[in-house]
Amino acid sequence: MNQLKLIALYYYICECYDTELCWICQRFSPNTSLKFSDQECLCIYLYAMMEEEKFQIKSIHRYADRYLRSWFPNLPSYQAFNARINRLSVVFPFLLKSLLMDQVCDEIDQRISLIDSMPIMTCSGRRKGKVASEWTDKGYCSTKKQHYYGLKLHAMAFDVPSKLPFPEWIWLSPASEHDLTAVEDKLADIHDRAIYADKAYVKAHWSRELKDQQNISIFTPVKLKKGQTQWERTFNKAADKVYSRAVSAVRQPIEALFAWLIEITDIQRASKVRSTKGLMAHVFGRLAAAWARKVPKINP
C-alpha cells in the first residue's frame, strides 16, 4: 500500500471538502457529526480505484475492510458504504472541477480544441434499459458497431503538445442524441478557436456561421456528399485523403484521452449501476479518480 499517496489524497479531499464540497452535500439534521466522515468515504473510493484498480463498490469495500481498517476504523457495512457513495454523487463533478483547476499548466494551447464522445453502456441494445431512464436511452456506437442503452460522455479539450489534451468541458447526453446537437450550445460563448472533430460534426451551414460570427474554424475529415458522381469522388480522392489524414492526426490525442480513461477506470461499463445517483457516481467518480492520480505526493 502506498501510504504517502493515501495521506496526500486524504489531505487534498479534506481541503476541498472544507472549502467547497461541504456546502454541496450539507446535512440539515441533528446527525451531522458522523463517525465515518464523507472525506473518508471519498478517499477510500478514489484510492481503491487509483491504486488497486477496484472498480466495483463491493470490491472497493472488501479491499478497504481487509487492508485499510487500521486507517479507517469506523468503516461501515457494504450497504451503508454503497448508500453513502450514492448520496455523494453530487460531489464528484465539483471534486473533478477542483482537480482539473489545480492541474492547469502553461503548455496548454487555448487556440486549439479537440472534441469527441464515447458511450457509457448500462446494458446491450438487445435488452430494455431501465436504469436512470431520465438520462439514458438507446443509441448506436459506430466504433463498436453495436446498439446499446446508456448515455454519451462528451469532452472538449485544449491541445497540449506531446501530452494528453486538457479537458475544458466534460458533459453527458442521452445515447440517442447526435454529437453535433450536444455540442452546439457549448460553443455559444467561445471565440477565436480552431476545433478539430470527427465526421459526426460536419454541417456546412453551421460551420460558416461559427466562422463568420465567432471566428471559430471547424476541421473534420472529408465526408462524402450525397449525389456526388464517381468521377468527382475519384478526382478529389487524393487531396481528400491527405486532408483527412492531417485532421485525424491532430485530433488523435483526444481519442488517446478516452482510451486512457477506459484503461485505468473501466468507465464505459456501467452494467452494475442500479440508480441515477449510482450512474452519476460511476461516471464522475471514475473521472475524479483518473485525475486524482496527479495529486502531489507528500515527501517523507
DSSP three-state, residue 161 = coil
Contacts of 294 (CB under 8 A, 6+ apart): 99, 103
The mean per-residue pLDDT over the stretch 60-80 comes to 95
d(CA 201, CA 208): 13
Strand partners, 153: 118, 172
> Which pLDDT belongs to residue 227?
66
The mean per-residue pLDDT over the stretch 122-148 comes to 84
> Which pLDDT belongs to residue 232?
67
The mean per-residue pLDDT over the stretch 3-7 comes to 90
> Which pLDDT belongs to residue 71?
94
> Which pLDDT belongs to residue 234?
72
The mean per-residue pLDDT over the stretch 155-176 comes to 92
**Which amino acid is present at 216?**
I
The mean per-residue pLDDT over the stretch 106-110 comes to 87
Q: What is the tens place of the pLDDT at every residue in 225-236?
A: 766 667 666 767
The mean per-residue pLDDT over the stretch 159-173 comes to 92
Q: What is the tens place of the pLDDT at every residue in 203-215?
A: 878 888 888 999 9
Say which range, 31-40, 53-62, 108-117, 135-144, has the weakest mean pLDDT.
31-40
Number of residues that make up the chain: 300
Q: What is the tens place of the pLDDT at every residue in 238-290?
A: 888 888 899 999 999 999 999 999 999 999 999 889 899 999 999 999 999 99
Average pLDDT score over the chain: 88
Residues 218, 204: contact at Cβ < 8 Å? Answer: no
Percent with pLDDT over 70 in the chain: 92
> Which pLDDT belongs to residue 188?
84
pLDDT > 70? residue 114:
yes
> Which pLDDT belongs to residue 33?
60
**Which cell numbers in the block locate residue 54?**
477496484
The mean per-residue pLDDT over the stretch 26-38 comes to 72
d(CA 226, CA 202): 13
The mean per-residue pLDDT over the stretch 15-36 comes to 79
Exposure class string for 10-44: b at 16+ Cβ within 10 A, else e: bebbbebbeeebeeebeeeeeeeeeebbbbbbbbb
DSSP three-state, residue 75 = coil
pLDDT > 60? residue 300:
no
> Which pLDDT belongs to residue 28?
61
**What are the DSSP E strand ranges found in the chain?**
109-124, 137-141, 146-159, 166-174, 193-196, 216-219
Handedness of CA 261, 262, 264, 269 (dihedral sign): positive
Q: What is the 3-state secondary structure (H, E, C) of 4-64?
A: HHHHHHHHHHHHHHHHHHHHHCCCCCCCCCCCCCHHHHHHHHHHHHHHHCCCCHHHHHHHH
